[in-house]
A and B are shown apart, each in its own frame.
Chain A
Amino acid sequence: MTSKRILGGLGLLLGAGLASGQAVAIEGDAERGEAAAGTCVACHQADGGGMNIPGGESWPRLAGLDADYMVKQLHDVKQGSREAPTMMPFVDGLDDQQIADVSAYYSQLPVTDAEGGDVDAEMLARGEQIALRGDWDEYIVSCKSCHGPGNQGVGSTFPGIAGQHAGYIENQLHAWQEGRRANDPQNLMGAIAKRMSDEDISAVAAWLSSQPATDE
Chain B
Amino acid sequence: MINRRKMLVLAGATLAAGASLIAWAETDGHPYDTLVEMGYPAPQEGELVHVPPTMADLEAADMKPQAKAVIRRGYDLFTNTQQLRGKNVFNDMNCSSCHLGEGRQPFSAPVWPAAVTLPDFRGKNQHVNNLEERIAGCFAYSMNGTPPAYGSDDMLALSAYHRWLAKGAPVYPDQPIYGRGFPAPERPDELSYANGEQLFVDNCAVCHSEDGSGLYQDGEYVFPATWGDGSNNWGAGIVRTHTAAGFIKNNMPLGQPLSLSDQEAWDIAYYMTRQERPQDPRYTGSVDEVVEKFGPTFHKHSSYGQEREVDGHRLADHANWGEKGDEVEPWNVGVPRFESLDVEE
Contacts and interface: CB of A to CB of B under 8 A. Distances in A.
Interface of A: 2-10, 12-17, 20, 133-134, 136-139, 141, 145-146, 148-149, 152-155, 157-158, 185-188, 191-192, 195
Contacts of A10: 228-229, 276, 318, 320
A157 B100 CA distance: 22
Interface stretch (B60-68, B163-171, B214-222, B335-343): B214-222
Nearest to A141: B255
Contacts of B203: 186
A138 B205 contact: no
Contacts of A192: 255
Interface residues on B, range: 35 or more
Contacts of B216: 3-5
Secondary structure call for the A interface: loop
Interface in B1-51: 4, 34-35, 38, 51
A16 B201 CA distance: 12
Contact of B229 (A4, A8, A145, A195): A8
- A-B pairs, top 8 by smallest CB distance, nearest first, are A17-B210, A136-B101, A7-B228, A148-B217, A15-B210, A149-B220, A154-B217, A185-B206
Secondary structure call for the B interface: loop
Contacts of B218: 3, 149
B230 A136 contact: no
Interface string B264-279: 0000000000011000
A111 to B, nearest CB: 16
Contacts of B162: none
B219 A3 contact: yes
B242 interface: no
Contact of A7 (B206, B217, B220, B229): B229
A3 B229 CA distance: 17
Contact of B214 (A5, A6, A134): A5
Contacts of B35: 139
A186 B253 contact: yes
A188 B320 contact: no
B118 interface: no
